[in-house]
Every structure is written in structure tokens, then in C-alpha cells.
Amino acid sequence: MKKFQNIIAAVLLATVGGFTAILIYTNYIEKPKVVTITEPRAVQYANLPSAPQGVDLTVAAENSVKAVVHIQTEFQQQGYSSSGNPFFDFFFGDPYGQQEPRTQQASGSGVIISPDGYIVTNNHVIERSDRIKIILNDKREYEAKLVGTDPNTDIALLKVETDEDLPTIRWGDSDNLKLGEWVLAVGNPFNLTSTVTAGIVSAKARSIRIIGGQLPIESFIQTDAAVNPGNSGGALVNTRGDLVGINTAIASRTGSYSGYSFAVPVSIVRKVVDDLKEFGEVQRAILGVTIQNVNAELAKELKLDKVEGVYVDGVVENGAAIEAGIKEGDIILSVNNVNVNTTSELQEQISKHRPGDEVKIKAIRNQKEKHFTATLRNTKGGTGIVKNALTVLGAELKEVDQKLKEDLNIRGGLLVTNVYDGKLKDAGIKEGYIITHVNKQHVSNIQEIKEEIKTSSGGVLIEGLYKNGEEAYYVFSLE
């Protein structure tokens, strides 16, 4: 029987004029991950006009298509064997069935950003992948390694080794994009390689609540360029062929393109990429406020002349905002002279910076204009650079394969393949040890152990076992 390919990776439901719309990541996989929004969100459609006279998109298309790659990934997924009796299996399951790993395939797109082989894509394109293959526009193929990921922005960075300079796309400026400006979406929808579609910028700083992560940042460029499953990680370029966004999601009733799509702006992408290359970890800057949009009702309550800015609902103790003098009830108007009128716009401006950076903030308090200088903090509350969790541990790790899981009767973990100077060596951990839990939380992939180490303070408890089945635990301090 021919395999049925499912095109939905992650689904969000939203109410649109009486019907149900679907917000989906635009990679192409076999098994869907479904997420339901409890609070419906309204969305708006944008019409695709015909290109006006004098707008030439051919040069931008020709230049950008060479630097957009086709990404094919493989990952293991658990399955069950059958008893051989389909009626028995349907009603009762197979009590003698064994879990059998099945190789699943997914595909998406990526953008070459440097001649030496760095490629940016979406995190959800390569998430859980055991193997990542890159296919260039000229059909050359490479195996890629994962440099790092940032689930909070859904961006990932890959690297291929090559002796030849690869074609690249120039970085553009997403901040200066205008509503109605023409853009091209370049990618590999439905495995149709090197596909180019055109549209206009329909909206900016759009939040659709599709990104996971602990501190998600959403400030999407909304366009009506046709984007479909397989376009995830592909390029959104302006008429000059400059990269202005990474295509990430679409809104649809069917799972295919229905009118508009969403891209992560390069103002966010470029900073994430720089951090991953330099530190192996995104250096997230925190202002230390809880915020909400200013609407007409709130503006009337606060006796504001205009409905503008972002309302500070609360400030974090010992955070950057409170140290700068910002208080609950203030309304932030701009960051470094860039106006912010939505929570997404404020998050985007702060996300451009690293811990320790100073930002100039203009706000309103009691109908009076105020100016503040805030020194941004890291996720631990300090102003320094947060070290890569794997660098701190001092080890090379890889996910436990299926055979080892079955031999040791574990559901997953990380195998220590090499130990050098670092916390694990100091604690006494040797090669061949399998980490299954960090601070009582199960870990099965690199991202999970990074998150646990990043959010730890003081002592860290590592639990697991060696390949011979001997259980062991270790405790060390991050100080």
C-alpha cells in the first residue's frame, strides 16, 4: 500500500468569520503534532494583487533560488508489530506485539548564509532528526551537522563541510519593510524544489501563538506569497533579492495555502545565528516586565491622548526594568527610538540585544513622558554571557539508539561518548555513561539537557546508568 503523507506538522485552530482556520508549520512530514488553542484568535486575509508595471522580480528570483536548499531529514519513531489478525488488532491490540522503530522522513527548506556552508532553517524542520541531508539547487548533496537551535524563535543553524564557496543570500533589513512591499517566497513545497512565489507584505509584528519554548518570541512578517508544506525554513526576499525573513507557518482550513503566510524577520534571525555561531547558545536579553497591548478601553481608563505603546503590567524583582526606574503602570513607547505599539514589537526590539546591553526606553507615566536606560539581564538574572550547557559539562553527547534502549529497558537518554575538562569529568562520570535524568527531569535529546542545565541554579543532580546496566548518580555545582 502506498504510504499516505500527512502535511501538517503543528496545528493551531482559530476562528475566522464563522469558520475554523488552521495555523500550521510548513514542513512536510508523515506524522502530525496537534496543538489546540483554548482562546480562539481572529485572523485577516490579504488578497494577492497582480504585479504592477515596472516591478521586476526576475533578478531577485534568480539570485535567491541558488542559495535556498532542500532539506531532507530522517528520525526514528516507535511502532508496534501486528498479530497478523487485523480484526483482533483493531479491537484488542496485539498483546505479543513488540515496539519496532520505524524510520520517518521529513523535508523542508534552508538558506545558505555564508560561502563556507552555514545554513539557517526552522527548528521544527530538523527537530528530532537523526540524519540531515542538504540538496543544493544544482543537485549537489551534503550531510549537515546541527550547530544549534533556538526553540523560542523556531530557528536552527546547520553547517556543511565543503571545499567550494557556496552561493549565498545577502542579509536584508526587515525593520524597513513597508506594508504593501513586494516580496518573494523561495522554497521546496511538497518536495517541488526551487519554487518561487510572489506576494506583498500584509502585516508586521504578527503573533499567532504557534512557537513553543519557554520564552517564545513571535513578531512574524505576514505575507500573501503562496507558501505550502515544505516551505519551512525557506527564504523571504525583497525585490533586490535580500533576505528579509525565514518562512515558517501558514494559516489554512485545509493544510495547504489559503491566503497568507508568516515569516520570522531577519532582525531576529540574524541575532540568533550570530549567537549560535559564537557561543553555541542564544544569549537571550530580558527586560524584566510583564506586558500587554494598549487598547481603546485601557487608554480611556488611563486618560491617554492616543491609543499607543505597551502597558507594563508588572516588573520583575531585581530585573533590568525596575533597576532602571520603570514601574508597573508605565506605558513603553519606544526602544532605542524605535516605536513599539504591540507586545510583539517590544519583544522584537529587545530580542536584538544581548545581556549587558543598554537600551534607551521612552515611556509615559501619569500623562508625562519619561526616559530610562536599562541594562538588560540574562535568563539567570545577571548581565554576563550564558555559557553553552555542553561546554560547561565538558562532554560529547549523543542520543541513545533504539537497540541500546531495548537492551537497557530505558525510554531514552544521552550517551557520553567523550569526556574532557568540565563538570562531568570533575564529578567522576566516564565515557559510556547514559544520562537519563537531570534534576529529576527525564532527558532524551541535546535540547532537553541544555534547557535543564540552563535553568539550574546551584547544584545539579545527574542520574543514569552505564552500558553494563550499573546505575549511578552524580551531583555537582554550576558555580
pTM, two decimals, is: 0.77
Query: How high is the pLDDT of residue 291?
Result: 96
Mean pLDDT along residues 362-390: 90
154 is catalytic: yes
Query: How high is the pLDDT of residue 393?
Result: 87
124 is catalytic: yes
| Residue from 64, 107, 109, 232 carrying the catalytic annotation | 232
| Residue from 154, 242, 275, 330 carrying the catalytic annotation | 154
355 in Cβ contact with 405 (< 8 Å): no
pLDDT band at residue 214 under the 50/70/90 scheme: confident
Residue 253, pLDDT above cutoff 90: no
Q: Give the right CATH number for 391-477 from 2.10.109.10, 3.90.1150.10, 2.40.50.140, 2.30.42.10.
A: 2.30.42.10
**CATH-assigned architecture of domain 1-281:** Beta Barrel (2.40)
Residue 460, pLDDT above cutoff 70: yes
Identify the residue with better confidence: 343 or 81. Answer: 343
Query: How high is the pLDDT of residue 101?
Result: 63
pLDDT band at residue 100 under the 50/70/90 scheme: low
Q: Give the cell for residue 311.
A: 502597558
Mean pLDDT along residues 296-301: 93
Q: Give the cell for residue 353.
A: 540585544
| Residue from 64, 124, 261, 444 carrying the catalytic annotation | 124
Identify the residue with better confidence: 315 or 86. Answer: 315
313 is catalytic: no
Calpha distance 340→360 (Å, rounded): 13
Secondary structure (H, E, C), the chain: CCCCCCCCCEEEEEEECCEEEEEEECCEECCCEECCCCCCCCCCCCCCCCCCCCCCCHHHHHHHHCCEEEEEEEEEEEEECCCCCHHHHHHHCCCCCCEEEEEEEEEEEEEECCCCCEEEEEHHHHCCCCEEEEECCCCCEEECEEEEEECCCCEEEEECCCCCCCCCCCECCHHHCCCCCEEEEEECHHHCCCEEEEEEEEEEEECCCCCCCCCCCCCEEEECCCCCCCCCCCEEEECCCCEEEEEEEEEECCCCCCCEEEEEEHHHHHHHHHHHHHHCCCCCCECCEEEEECCHHHHHHCCCCCCCCEEEEEECCCCHHHHHCCCCCCEEEEECCEECCCHHHHHHHHHCCCCCCEEEEEEEECCEEEEEEEECECCCCCCCCCCCHHHHHCEEEEECCHHHHHHHCCCCCEEEEEECCCHHHHHCCCCCEEEEEECCEECCCHHHHHHHHHCCCCEEEEEEEECCCCEEEEEEECC
What lies within 8 Å, CB to CB, of 368 at 6+ separation is none
Q: Assign residue 238 a region (left: φ > 0; alpha: ψ between -120 and 50; beta: otherwise).
A: beta
- What is the number of other CB atoms lying within 10 angstroms of the CB of residue 65? 21
Return the percentage of the chain with pLDDT > 90, whole number: 59
Nearest to 196 by CA among 205, 184, 207: 184
Return the percentage of the chain with pLDDT > 70, whole number: 83
Range in 36-50, 61-75, 206-220, 278-292 the model is least confident about? 36-50
Query: How high is the pLDDT of residue 32?
Result: 34
Q: Which residues of the chain are in CATH 2.30.42.10 domains?
A: 289-375, 391-477
388 in Cβ contact with 422 (< 8 Å): no
Q: Which residues of the chain are in CATH 2.40.10.120 domains?
A: 1-281
Residue 419 one-letter amino acid: V
pLDDT digits (tens, 9 = 90+) for 170-190: 999 999 999 999 999 999 998
pLDDT digits (tens, 9 = 90+) for 312-358: 999 999 999 999 999 999 999 999 999 999 999 999 999 999 999 99
Class of domain 289-375 (CATH, top level):
mainly beta
Query: How high is the pLDDT of residue 18?
Result: 42
Mean pLDDT along residues 387-398: 80
Residue 43, pLDDT above cutoff 60: no
